[in-house]
Amino acid sequence: MPDLNVQTSGFPWLSVIVFLPLLGAVLLFFVRETSSRWIALIISLADFALTLPLWSRFDPSTARMQFHEHVPWITSPSINYSLGVDGISFPLVLLTTFLIPLCVLASWRSIKTRINEFMAVLLVMECAMLGVFVALDFVLFYVFWEIMLIPMYLIIGVWGGPNRLYAAVKFFLYTLVGSVLLFIAILVLFFQGGHTFDILRLTQVDFDPVVQHWIFWAFFIAFAVKVPMFPFHTWLPDAHVEAPTAGSVVLASVLLKMGAYGFIRFMLPMLPEATATFTPMMVALSLVAILYGAYMALAQADLKKLIAYSSVSHMGFVTLGIFALNTQGIEGAIMQMVNHGITTGALFLCVGALYERTHSRMIADNAGLAGPMPRFATLLVIFALSSLGLPGTNSFVGEFLILIGTFLWSKAVAVIASLGIILAAVYLLRMVQHVAYGVPTEESAGHLTDLNAREMATFAPLVVLVFWIGLFPNPLLTLMHTSVDQVIAQAAPRSPVLTHQQSPTSHRVFSTVSRKPREKRDTQNRPVAPLALVPQTPNDE
């Protein structure tokens, strides 16, 4: 039974994209170690290539789920194999398939043992992450969500640094606690929402505000651990420090996005009243994350820890944008998710390349690389500048939109959040000042070799994206507009909200912005016919 509000296409694009990496992982058990890298690279590139036609076929004028697939899986209770993408998940799907080939390239030489297994685990990881973004059934979603933990646990625990077991167990247990609560929340939604696991249907149920509050806390912990929001962030630096380069990249670039994706996809549309009630808390935690993460980054001597804490700060911007609950805020948040994936992933790749040469991640041991490694230094400067939100690079677009959205919600909050941008300049430039510039230590100056062709091939697409998104963000933003408008319409409280702690002015501004799309959605969304096989006529955008 196809659901309302979806658009199908003849070919099961999404299934192929999700399960091709899994197929590749299976294949990797039957090949020799020498060819496993190439097979992993080809499979992951093929997967990326498969998402590109999706981009051209993607219809940004509708908020409905596209490329929808629906196969009954279990009849009682009704659990379905149901996939689809919209403007919120599609950028993340693109990001994921784009980054995995780069991870394979980054692991080319740095992984020396059990190469087949490593590549297989990486591909399983890709399958699970893509599954999370495209699943439209809560049980299916949860399956992917949990599967994701295992490869990451293995990547850290098997191929990690000296303290890898502590980091892997900490990561696993921490996120597992969140997952258990998520599962309980899903069950409550099932029983309260008319016995369905269908995510789209559940977004249209009006849950009782009291129930919403309970589910909110479960969602909050599950997603806040993943983001990670302050004070649930301490697993992140450990995991990053111990993980191999590809693990850090996947972790920072995609895994951290799961939490924020959960907020946008589930919390806002399903729990509008609870969201409205707890928005001040979420905003406060985001602000703490932005400033606290930046201060933490300022105190680090280890490059990976520095970048890990900078992630806390940057993801604080993401949650801030989400809970500004307006178009600019949420679109900025999605942009920032993609941009953080690109930039922070690139920074971790830089650290990885460095570690392969100097065997140290300490800032003090890696000084003055502009001399011996000019290409590397140039790239490091570019990505650091992107990370500190320099206009013209990708991150500025996201941060600017988030600040616009926040400013509409509350000026004071935007002022505090902007302080994070100053601190970002301090901790990143301090790092650049030492690592890129500076005087090389005697033992490092002699034998350091600059990036080779494979490494340049890893970085080149990232550099292109940094500037391409920075200068032409509209193609990405266009994907999001209608879907984000729909989320905002759904997130508008359907019954009177219990508390409102906003000042009268900010509330006035807030509602003028969010009401407009809500009215539009009412005429656009409701009357869609159940069977939407025929593409809807384009909207008057």
Partner 1 sequence: MQYALIPLLPFAAFLIVGLLGHWIKERAHLVAVPAVLGSLLLSLATLRDVSGGETISVPLYTWLTSGDLRVSLGLSIDRLTAAMLVLVTTVSSLVHVYTIGYMRGERGYARFFAYIALFTFSMLMLVMADNFLQLFVFWEAVGLCSYLLIAHWYERDSARAAATKAFVVNRIGDFGFLLGLLLVWLSFGSLEYEHVFAQAAKLSGDTINLLGPIGGAWEVSTLTLICLLLFMGAVGKSAQVPLHVWLPDAMEGPTPISALIHAATMVTAGVFMVARMSPLYNLSPAAMDVVAVVGALTMVLGATIALSQHDIKRIVAYSTVSQLGYMMMACGLGAYAAGIYHLLTHGAFKGLLFLGCGSVIIALHHEQDMRRMGGLKEKLPVTYWTFVVGSLALAGFPLTAGFFSKDEILVAAWSAGALGKTLAVLGLLTVLLTAFYSFRLVFVVFWGPSRVDAHHADHLQEPSKTMVVPLVILAVLSVAAGYLGITGFLAPVLGSNESHHATPAAFGVMGTATLLGLAGIAAAYVLYVRSPGLPDRMAQHWQRAYRLSLNKWYVDEAYDRTVVRPTFSLADGLWKRVDVALIDGAVNGMARAVAWWGWLMRLFQSGQVQHYALGMMLSVVVMLSMYLLF
Could you tell me how many residues make up the chain?
541
Q: At what angle do helices 394-409 and 303-324 cross, to 10 degrees?
A: 40
Taking CB under 8 A as the rule, does residue 153 contact partner 1? no
Exactly one of 481, 500, 507, 518 binds partner 1 (CB under 8 A); that residue is 481
Instruction: By CB under 8 A, tell whether 288 contacts partner 1.
Output: no
Taking CB under 8 A as the criterion, which residues in 321-380 touch partner 1? Answer: 326-328, 331-332, 368, 370-371
281, 502 contact by CB (below 8 A): no
> Environment class of residue 364 by beta-carbon count within 10 Å: exposed (0-12), middle (13-18) or buried (19+)?
exposed
Binding flag, residue 183, partner 1 (CB under 8 A): no
Among 63, 103, 380, 397, binds partner 1 (CB under 8 A): 397
Closer Cβ to partner 1, 48 or 235, answer by number: 235
Q: Does 503 bind partner 1 (CB under 8 A)?
A: yes
The reply to whether 295 sits near partner 1 by the rule CB under 8 A is yes
* Dist. CA 59–CA 296, nearest whole Å: 42
- How far from 348 is each of 246, 251, 383, 492, CA to CA, in Å? 8, 10, 10, 38
> What 8-state DSSP symbol labels residue 391?
B
Site string for partner 1, 16-55 (x = CB under 8 A): ----------------------------------------
| Least separation in angstroms between CB 418 and partner 1 | 5
Strand arrangement, sheet containing 65-74: 6-8, 65-74, 79-85
Q: How far apart are CA 130 and CA 128, in angstroms?
A: 5
CA distance 145 to 139: 10
Selected binder of partner 1 within 403, 451, 491, 492 (CB under 8 A): 403
- Tokens 């693109």 belong to 94
Determine, following the binding rule CB under 8 A, whether residue 298 of this chain makes contact with partner 1.
yes
- How many residues in the shown chain lie near partner 1 by CB under 8 A? 64
| Preceding amide of 72 cis, omega within 30 | no
The binder of partner 1 chosen from 145, 235, 263, 355 (CB under 8 A): 235
**418 scored as a contact of partner 1 (CB under 8 A):** yes
**Burial of 108 (C-beta count, 10 Å sphere; 0-12/13-18/19+):** middle
Q: Which of 422, 457, 460, 533 binds partner 1 (CB under 8 A)?
A: 422
Q: What is the CA radius of gyration of the chain?
A: 22
- Residues near partner 1, by CB under 8 A: 170, 173-174, 231, 233-235, 292, 295-296, 298-300, 326-328, 331-332, 368, 370-371, 385, 390-392, 396-397, 400-401, 403-404, 407-408, 410-412, 414-415, 418-419, 421-422, 425-426, 429-430, 432-434, 436-439, 471-474, 477-478, 481, 503, 505, 509, 513
